[in-house]
């Protein structure tokens, strides 16, 4: 049975954030809000947790395209190879925001991702997600919560999410209704921005 925790985005309760971080540190899986859709996540440094997420998604961990949710741009160099000034300016302008940026992966990526040439980096404009990552001290990996319904692509109601994911994850955060539009994916691995998927967010800033 997953825990169900109500957290308010305007002013996330530090005790509740600690509770979430504790679960992540113990290898737990969480469902949490972002500035787009609800995401499934775990601590990037916990191999068992990463394997659980890959198994749920029905993919091999090495072949996964999970996003890395970061708190800010300060520890980007841990996961991304040197980026030029123009690329950094784009990131600075767009983040935090509803974008996933594909960037060249560094040599110090966690083991399962070592062979990856690129990584997807996300800094969502959502206080709950940012506080969790900040308190944890390293990124969480993330993948969107899809819905079986062909009309609604993403489940937006936390209670329905809990119903569906109760036995698969350790904690579901109720932050109210989520969005139903995924992040815009921009590939910056070759320098020039290439829109891979148009989702939420203003493309004119690029």
- Mind listing the domains of the chain with CATH numbers? 3-205 (3.90.870.10)
pTM: 0.93
pLDDT of residue 152: 59
pLDDT at 187: 96
Three-state SS for the chain is CCEEEECCCCCCCHHHHHHHHHHHHCCCCEEECCCCCCEEEEECCCHHHHHHHHHHHCCCHHHCCCEEECCCCCCHHHCECCCCHHHHHHHHHHCCCCEEEEEEECCCCCHHHCCCCEEEEECCCCHHHHHHHHHHCCCEEEEECECCCCCCCECCCHHHHHHHHCCCCCEEEECCCCCCCCEEEEECCCCCCEEEECCECCHHHC
Token code pair at residue 28: 């737990």
- Position 92 scores a pLDDT of 95
Instruction: List per-residue pLDDT tens for the chain, 206 residues long.
Output: 899 999 999 999 999 999 999 999 999 999 999 999 999 999 999 999 999 999 999 998 888 889 999 999 988 888 998 888 999 999 999 999 999 999 999 988 888 888 889 999 999 999 999 999 999 999 999 998 876 655 556 678 999 999 999 999 999 999 999 988 999 999 999 878 999 999 999 888 87
């Amino acid at each position: 049975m997953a825990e169900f925790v109500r957290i308010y985005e305007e002013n996330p309760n530090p005790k509740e954030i600690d509770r979430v971080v504790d679960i992540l540190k113990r290898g737990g899986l969480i469902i949490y809000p972002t500035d787009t859709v609800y995401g499934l996540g775990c601590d990037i440094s916990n191999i068992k947790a990463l394997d659980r997420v890959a198994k749920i998604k029905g993919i091999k961990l090495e072949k996964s395209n999970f996003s890395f949710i970061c708190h800010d741009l300060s520890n980007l160099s841990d996961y991304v190879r040197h980026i030029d000034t123009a690329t950094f300016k784009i990131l600075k302008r767009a983040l935090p925001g509803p974008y996933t940026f594909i960037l060249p992966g560094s040599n110090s990526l966690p083991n399962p991702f070592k062979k990856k040439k690129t990584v997807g980096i996300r800094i969502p404009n959502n206080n709950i997600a940012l506080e969790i990552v900040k308190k944890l001290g390293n990124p969480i990996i993330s993948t969107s919560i899809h819905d079986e319904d062909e009309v609604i692509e993403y489940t937006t109601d936390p209670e329905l999410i809990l119903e569906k994911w109760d036995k698969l994850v350790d904690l579901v955060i109720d932050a109210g209704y989520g969005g139903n539009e995924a992040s815009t994916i921009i590939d910056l691995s070759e320098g020039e921005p290439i829109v891979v998927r148009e989702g939420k967010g203003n493309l004119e800033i690029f």
